[in-house]
Chain A
């Protein structure tokens, strides 16, 4: 990754049937960068991708590619290729011809096409599949063909629209690693769209969190995770307990009826804030030397840890721990100063971070992709 800007989006807005899908997006994408657009269904991430690809025109704003405005350039003239959500392989062509499609349009010689197709097949680990009918391939194999078909054109940018969404968990993990390897090997800029925060964190150089057609935060995965800028980001990336607090002064915040030292500064004294504490950052300690006490309301076994819900001062906290506790038990907890993240109040304050109605299933439902609606 270097600092040379490849794509710049300037104040991009887009509406469908009077409904605003994108509200003045600004985004820089650098050469050789792996950028992930992350957000729930309907946040505008796919639309952003389609605008970069040229399938959609923004209502307002500029799309700049290598310093030139490309709003009016049709997709087939952009040095950008796309891997589609459902692969969009041409069912009437076999694997070889699917991959060779772009090169045939450029009228390259059969020898050169053959050489580059076999390079690509090696890159995506599909040697020997040349003559296979694409409809006979598994989802993962089809995905590789789609990637090879896009990469063979040596694009400046590869756009990937939830490419792993249809794969099962194990395969998805393998493909994540492979995609990262391919990106490093080819040195091509990847713009990756997903609603899966884990995928985003593990692959990206830069994560762009989107919601309601706006960018909520841009940063490295670590920064996004550790220093979320608002309640939405905090909640969407991993699990978070988000409670109302008051900044007493720099490095001192009060919440849950207690005062805590923290590492945040720059707020007005007495300013209401959102305080984020990750479930795994909370320590269970003997009640005698604790900061807060609470009553365990539920315990769920998660394999390598327990997920427990604790009622502290009428607010349900989630704690991930390896200690065994029982429902109904009163426990003491302790939070280190560096585990406390203080955020400014935002439009999302109070919407997330309370586990009183939490269930895995609910969360899963709310994450189901409905990108077609965009």
Chain B
């Protein structure tokens, strides 16, 4: 017997260890890399506090964390009060039917997908705005707080209600019997009894609020960002290592809170001894209570203290994540620079609200929903065409943008803005082939796009995991028109991809950085600017630019907004002009590593030196000599596809992906079917057995 037992306990120990390893290994890796000396996500080069230092210096991530914490603390506090009162009310309801109904109604928001809660909140706020005829969008700190309180309250009720139910009812009667009024009995008896539930409810609310992305994304508005939203919009580039640092901090904080909550929940005597100690020493209680109150007061007023004195003007900018020089890495903070410049020049304070998105489509949806208003956006070329045709863009006042003259003429008057009225180019880039020069023969590289179907490197090739780029590669490789509406052309591209498929290691987007930097893959296609990023971590990487490639341009635009006054419109134009000034443009170009359309940048000595430090040929890679950009762009760049072609592309893409993963999918299908069959079989077995037994009752 004992032998069996010890065997079992050994197995259960191994099982437990395995589970903990699976759960915590990734976090351990993250924490380890938050102390990494270099930027690499794969090589640990030495211990350093660099990213923590940067975090505290840059302020951007910290600002987001500050808002996240503020929202989490406030929403946890308020929802704890509301939820506790609600639980108390539900518990004391006389009608059992009503009690059940109210309880299930409060449970629903927990089961509701976040996306539903988020959208319905957004609609509600937009609706209120319309009903009261408000000029300004309601979205902001207040709406975010309301949304968080809303989804937190059910969790607080869920954790307080059982404590009330567990409580011996005669305790309240005993209190009344000994002379307590009902109010006194609540505070002296019931409250201490349910305190563990209240505390664990509050902690749960805090953590849920801290990491919420979906609901926040819909209700946050345009004035600030929380940490999850900021991290999510970083997908344009790889997530920077200071995010490891901030996530490590958040993890440690939440871990500590959960430990605390378990102590409170698990041992009533611990809670009791704390309250006992507090009660005994009323001075300490007063001091502690005073401190807590003070911290809360300071916390909630932080916003107003730290926010600059009420600005006379606000400018709402909506940009890609990590797409501006923001003061990190000792760089120049362009937004701050603009605010200072404007105040100096015009004597007025301006507040820039800077928030970020992760894709053109995200940005488009958010703006077309109408709930949030932005002034400046930086979409890509095809999206500008789309938005302009839909009347979503405002014409620029070029008399206020004299720096437009520094923009390379090649990038003016292109298809997306032929009359040069909606946009000013911000950055542009080209894609090409990135390869590992230590593994790939230079002779093979000369083949251009055919390198991507070279069987010699089978299993080491990466392909885009999005249809437009993947088909783009296939079409460039065969000299096809990437904007063709011809079915046959797309079919031909599909065939090329199907042929390539067995050689492809995987279809990736962001993972490309790690796979290329670590040498796991040798060949991939990506943008030149991103190549420079990767090169910093792996100097074996090289860049080859074939003849036929895609070019993209991201340009600054002003959104259409009828309520915008003349002064703000002027401000928008002045901001765009400021972005073209030498200081701002150089800082941005250095931060982004993509090509700059601005001659002030290209001719700037410091910029040339900075880029050459990254890669000796950086300038040649970004700005190839003798390139007729306009001709190339017009010949090769992606245009927006019409609906039908888009549909065709997507269906071919899913066909490719399905066939690529056919075997895998088939196995998964069988396994899922098997599991379903077992579940159904078990259910039927228990049902029949119950019926059979019931016959004998």
Contacts and interface: CB of A to CB of B under 8 A. Distances in A.
B177 A101 contact: no
B137 to A, nearest CB: 48
B272 interface: yes
B272 A105 contact: no
Interface of A: 53-55, 74-76, 80-82, 84-86, 88-94, 97, 101-102, 105-106, 133, 135, 149-150, 153
Contact of A75 (B173, B184, B271): B173
B180 A86 contact: no
Interface in B181-240: 181, 184, 188-189, 192-193
B171 A90 contact: yes
B189 A90 contact: yes
18 contacts: A54-B176, A75-B173, A76-B178, A82-B173, A84-B170, A84-B174, A86-B170, A88-B171, A90-B175, A91-B193, A92-B268, A92-B272, A97-B276, A101-B188, A102-B178, A133-B269, A150-B177, A153-B179
A339 to B, nearest CB: 44
Contact of A105 (B173, B179, B279): B179
A94 B532 CA distance: 69
Nearest to A102: B178
Contact of A76 (B176, B268, B279): B176
A60 B276 CA distance: 44
A75 B268 contact: no
A150 B276 CA distance: 22
A74 B176 CA distance: 8
B682 to A, nearest CB: 38
Given A105-B184, A133-B269, A92 B178 contact: no
Contacts of A89: 174
B408 to A, nearest CB: 75
Interface residues of B, number: 24
A205 B634 CA distance: 111
Contacts of A85: 170
Contact of A82 (B174, B184, B272): B174
Nearest to A82: B177
Given A86-B168, A86-B170, A88-B171, A76 B275 contact: no
Q: Which secondary structure dominates where chain B touches chain A?
A: helix
A67 B269 CA distance: 46
Given A92-B272, A133-B272, A135-B269, A105 B180 contact: yes
Contacts of A94: 276
Given A92-B193, A101-B178, A102-B179, 13 more contacts: A54-B176, A76-B178, A81-B178, A82-B174, A88-B168, A90-B174, A90-B175, A91-B272, A93-B272, A101-B175, A105-B179, A135-B269, A149-B178
A92 B192 contact: yes
A132 to B, nearest CB: 12
Contacts of B177: 53, 75-76, 80-82, 150
A76 B179 contact: yes
Interface in B252-272: 268-269, 271-272
A88 to B, nearest CB: 4
Contacts of B189: 90
Given A55-B173, A84-B173, A153 B178 contact: yes
Nearest to B279: A97
Contacts of B171: 88, 90
Most chain A beta-carbon contacts within 10 A, residue among B168, B174, B184, B269: B174
A345 B139 CA distance: 83
Nearest to B275: A92
Interface string B269-299: 1011001100100000000000000000000
Nearest to B273: A133
A187 B116 CA distance: 68
Contacts of B271: 92
Contacts of A150: 177-178
Contacts of B179: 76, 102, 105-106, 153
